[in-house]
Chains A and B, each alone.
Chain A
Amino acid sequence: QVQLVQSGAEVKKPGASVKVSCKASGYTLNIHGITWVRQAPGQGLEWMAWISAYNGNTNYAQRFRGRVTMTTDTSTSTAYMELRSLRSDDTAVYYCARATSHALDIWGQGTMVTVSS
């Protein structure tokens, strides 16, 4: 079936970087985009960025511009999101989601990233 499987939990120190992977199965990655959304503990959903897996076009929320890089590898059907210069308020669950022309219809299970000294 169509699913997105994300990499496991990470613990990082302030100032470090983290790279989260999102492997697609059951469909061809480059047909749709991938959106990244995060959720801080006890908080709501925050839209971070989108990448077209077809041509690599991207769009970012202003607060993440310059600190986030998204890539896709169609040979392995995997999308990646790297967040740099981590701060304690980056502690959150990070989700990837398939972005069709209508909505975010398939979500990964989430990756917990903890930033702590």
Chain B
Amino acid sequence: EIVLTQSPATLSLSPGERATLSCRASQSVAGYLAWYQQKPGQAPRLLIYDASNRATGIPARFSGSGSGTDFTLTISSLEPEDLAVYYCHQRSDWPETFGQGTKVEIK
């Protein structure tokens, strides 16, 4: 199965700063990668699909890039409500898999 490795495990930044989250796949997933945000006590929410497309209603400060094995989720200017765990997810091959998550903390 395809293993997704996210880094860093935890990111601690101040409001207004830029957050860069990484997801690396053990083999190519082409562009079949999505990002989800999970706030404490809530279900995950789709942020980005097909590596770089924002889902409906997602603010423009969230952007995704990459292809093949290396992907990035960028939050251009962190807001207090962005406190959450962020997961990447590949749909290139069965079984689908998730990364272990990156926790974003707000200083």
Which positions in A face B, CB cutoff 8 Å?
35, 37, 44-47, 50, 59-62, 95, 97, 102-105, 107-110
Contacts and interface: CB of A to CB of B under 8 A. Distances in A.
Contacts of A105: 46, 49, 55
A103 B95 contact: no
Interface string B20-51: 00000000000000101010000111100110
Contact of B44 (A50, A62, A107): A107
A102 B96 contact: no
Contacts of B85: 44
A104 B45 CA distance: 9
Interface of B: 1, 34, 36, 38, 43-46, 49-50, 53, 55, 85, 87, 89, 91, 94-101
A110 to B, nearest CB: 5
Given A102-B34, A105-B55, A109-B43, A45 B87 contact: yes
Contacts of A102: 34, 49-50, 53, 91
B98 A44 contact: yes
Contacts of B49: 102-103, 105
A50 B96 contact: yes
B43 A62 contact: no
